[in-house]
Structure 1
Amino acid sequence: MASSALTGKVETDVEIKASPEQFHDMFTNKPHHLHHACNDKIQACDLHEGEWGKVGTIVNWSYVHDGKAKQVKDVIEAVDPDKNLITFRMVEGDLMEEYKSFVVTLQVSPKSGDSGSGSVVHWTIEYERLHQGIDHPETLLQLAIDVSKDLDAHLTKPN
């Protein structure tokens, strides 16, 4: 089997009620507040180097995946406020024990249709596994879906 089978991409869309700008702003400029929305999934997000929302910034995440506490360090590779897009490249941590590369892109778009309210969060994970015995990251995609729903509930709850 060709080594290219080790590379892959998983994607999903999550419909939310919050605006694209609200959701994007949380992940881009205030990820250290995410634990308020989903502390059972995201324990902490700490600025390691740089400024929130800027390309080249390095961020440390503490999160729970498959019932286990995990850590990951990522670098912000791209930020496009006009498209409500941000890309993170994982550089250290638990994920790097299984993946040679792991890049997460999050883009939020207005929901099309008659209602005109709400958004669609599009998550893309592009990765290369270290070997065939490592699972594709579907459970991490599910974590992204769950975090999206929790964050949406947090952003849209009445004050």
Structure 2
Amino acid sequence: MKMRESDSIERRFELKYCSAEKLYGFLRNHLGDLVNMFPDVYKTIEVVEGQTFCAGSVVHFQYHLGDEVVSEKWLIKVVDDATKCIIFEAVEGDMLNYYKMLRAKMEAFNGRSNKIGESFGKWTVEFEKAYENVPKPKTHMDLFVEMSKAIDAYYLSNN
């Protein structure tokens, strides 16, 4: 049986307390603040190539993924303010032992009437397994969605 070249998983989640612009803006402008907000998860988030969190920059993340601490460098491939979309791609680190390619895309969408509670976010994780028995990167997806929901809840207490 031949492995597929690449695959993806996606998950959509409701924004209960903030707008699509606020979620996108936080990830675009305050990504490094996750270390202070969630010290049990994120140990390091720092730009190691480039000036800021922008397209073309490389960010070093050290964080808990399940029971292990992983260290990875992710290239910020796309930052699109018009569509509220950010795409990251793993370029170095622990996960590349399991995946030939690992890419994460976050999109934020407003509901029809643009009211809080109608907006939502969506993460898509695209991957290519290095070996056939490697699982889908569900733990990454869980981390991205839970972090996004926590950012959403942050706006409840800081409005």
Q: TM-score, normalised by structure 2?
A: 0.90
Task: Tell me, yes or no, if structure 1 residue 13 matches structure 2 residue 12.
Answer: yes
Q: What secondary structure, in the 3-state scheme, does the structure 1 residue paired with 2:82 have?
A: coil
Task: Tell me, yes or no, if structure 1 residue 72 matches structure 2 residue 78.
Answer: no
Paired residues for 1:94-113 under 5 Å: 94-112=94-112
Q: Kindly report the root-mean-square deviation, in angstroms, between the aligned alpha carbons of the 2 structures.
A: 1.7
Identity %: 25
Task: Tell me, yes or no, if structure 1 residue 155 matches structure 2 residue 155.
Answer: yes
Q: What secondary structure, in the 3-state scheme, does the structure 1 residue paired with 2:40 have?
A: coil
Give ranges in structure 2 of 5+ residues lacking alignment.
Answer: none
Matched to 2:97, the amino acid is E
Distance in 2 of aligned mates of 1:64 and 1:24: 23
Query: Is the CA contact 1:65–1:140 (under 8 Å) kept in the aligned structure 2?
Result: yes
1:47 match? 47
1:23 match? 23
Query: Is the CA contact 2:109–2:121 (under 8 Å) kept in the aligned structure 1?
Result: yes
Q: How many pairs were matched up?
A: 157
Q: Which runs of 4+ in 1 moved over 3 A?
A: none
Distance in 1 of aligned mates of 2:53 and 2:85: 11
Matched to 1:15, the amino acid is E
Distance in 2 of aligned mates of 1:51 and 1:21: 23
Distance in 1 of aligned mates of 2:122 and 2:14: 9
Give ranges in structure 1 of 5+ residues lacking alignment.
Answer: none
Q: What secondary structure, in the 3-state scheme, does the structure 2 residue paired with 1:47 have?
A: strand
Distance in 2 of aligned mates of 1:27 and 1:94: 23
2:129 match? 129
1:143 match? 143
Q: What secondary structure, in the 3-state scheme, does the structure 2 residue paired with 1:145 have?
A: helix
Distance in 2 of aligned mates of 1:62 and 1:31: 13
